[in-house]
Chain A
Amino acid sequence: MEFSWPWEYDFPPFFTLQPNLDTQKKQLEAWRKLVIDYCHHNKIFVLDVQESIPLFQNKTIDRQLSSEGIKRVLEILQENNQIEWCDKSKKQCFVYWKTPQEWGNLIYCYIIDKGMTNTVCTFYELTEGDDVKNEEFAGLDKSMLLKALETLEASKKAEVIMFGGSEGVKFF
């Protein structure tokens, strides 16, 4: 399904960082939502800032958000805990269109549904297996999965283990 761009995307001023702060606030809010929705739709778990340029430009109207503008948008996302920088270089970030907790809960509910507690699953099974094809967490980025499982570990609902050279998890 084609991603449906918001009305702002075709509005030229959307790509100019507004000097009026009230207006800017609204503008940045629209950008925040756009980034999250876009990543959600395209199942983007990790965003590379450089490669994200297409998101911040609209070739149809020949407009592009400045690097200053992009910076501001990412700042807003971080303030909302919707992104997390992978490292200090700030070249890549995790995009939490679902938070690790939300992922954790989703996975755990699935496990409960399937009665798979007290069994061990590999990471592969959880994310790439045929059984999970229709689940939201299918194709989940490994780093994201680990974060999700860490939250479950914290609430004693799971435990990450290594066995036979693979990584797996046991649910309780």
Chain B
Amino acid sequence: MDRLYFKDKNDCSKEITSYSHTTWKGIRLYDGDSKTEYRSETAYLTPSRLYFSSNDRPAMNMVLDLKCIVLVEEEEGSILRSSKIILHLLPHVSEQHSKPYTRSSASFIKLAFSNGGLSNFKICIQKPLLERAWEKHTESSSTSHSVAFQDMKNLIDMAKDMVQLASVMSSKIKDRHGDISDDETVKFKSYLLSLGIEDPVTRNACSSSNMFCQHLAKEITTFLLTPISDSGGFMSLSDAYCRVNRARGFELLSPEDFFQACNYMEQLNLPLTCRKFESGVLVLQLQSETNSQLEKDTESLLQARRKLTAFEVSQELGITIILAAECLYTMERKGVLCRDDTVRGLVFYHNEFSSRT
């Protein structure tokens, strides 16, 4: 009983009026097992406190902070004794308030309900004990934690919906494999990518069953066939990538998807193929186009000029300098050309070491 304290009625009234919706009359308080003088209290329950008021005490209420309650039990009555509610309490902590009992040896109090309502009380007291509203009123950081976790909780709930939506769509696509147009798939995937969600459909490496890669390979080929033919049968992979994405507008391809699709072309017997030069440069080239045409053109150019730089070749044949250089290096490797390397630059000649011996 030493956990209860007195409080001015006026101070309590606001809280009681706002939160207490049920009252219990005719409550008798026991200090441990011993009866106390308080036999006809009216109990008011708020989220944080249990108030006891009595006509005997016009000015003061008795208050029990709910945070002191460790356990709520029901003591079954018998013929001689009524049922009671036992409230097991935390040990005494010295406080400022005036109290009905300064010291008590019991660690619990009992409430007898002479006017009934015990069962109701037992139910009603569970809620505030679970919610522990008094923790929200403290000024410790636990307030902000719970608020932060609340936001997080909301976010997780929202994400749950999105993830669920994504997986539903994915399974729909899987089920209707082939019925959904690949453009829709691409659109959907780009949405997912913008959300940062990986789409399981394209996550796997390009396998023979991957329609997306196949379709993409065909699409790239159709789009790039003319430009590549016009530019000497070669286009560097980076140029090709930029062109394709620029044309697509907003349904952009990732470099990985593009690269995988290009590697697929040969398998699909498409007129374009992806090729890696010795220097590591990657190009898309016309399948029918072996190096021969470009080399023939370079050869003719050399006949006219006796010597060539990569720059001159790129200018005359309308190809990039990288490709021009690659062509010259290839011809040098074949022994068709030899080089003159000075501070002024790299120039190629016919390999007269071979032809004139």
Contacts and interface: CB of A to CB of B under 8 A. Distances in A.
Interface stretch (B142-150, B201-209, B339-347): B339-347
Nearest to A66: B341
A142 interface: no
Given A12-B349, A13-B349, A18 B354 contact: no
Interface stretch (B119-127, B174-182, B330-338): B330-338
For chain B, give the interface size range. 10 to 19
B333 A26 contact: no
Contacts of A30: 353
A11 B349 CA distance: 9
Contacts of B341: 16
A149 to B, nearest CB: 38
B335 A20 contact: yes
A7 interface: yes
A27 B339 contact: no
B40 to A, nearest CB: 111
A84 B195 CA distance: 76
A23 B340 contact: no
Interface string A20-31: 101100110010
Given A13-B338, A13-B340, A19 B353 contact: no
A13 B302 CA distance: 15
A72 interface: no
Contacts of B245: none
Interface residues of A, number: 16
The 7 closest A-B pairs by CB, nearest first: A26-B353, A12-B340, A16-B341, A13-B338, A13-B340, A23-B338, A13-B349
A18 B356 CA distance: 16
Nearest to B350: A13
A19 B328 CA distance: 13
Contacts of B78: none
B356 A20 contact: no
A147 interface: no
A23 B354 CA distance: 7
Nearest to A27: B353
Contacts of B342: 12, 16, 63
Nearest to A61: B340
B357 to A, nearest CB: 6
Interface in A1-44: 7-8, 11-13, 15-16, 18-20, 22-23, 26-27, 30
8 contacts: A11-B349, A12-B340, A12-B349, A13-B339, A13-B352, A16-B339, A20-B333, A22-B354
Interface centre among B333, B335, B338, B351 (most CB of A within 10 A): B338
Nearest to B340: A12
Contacts of B307: 12
B339 A26 contact: no
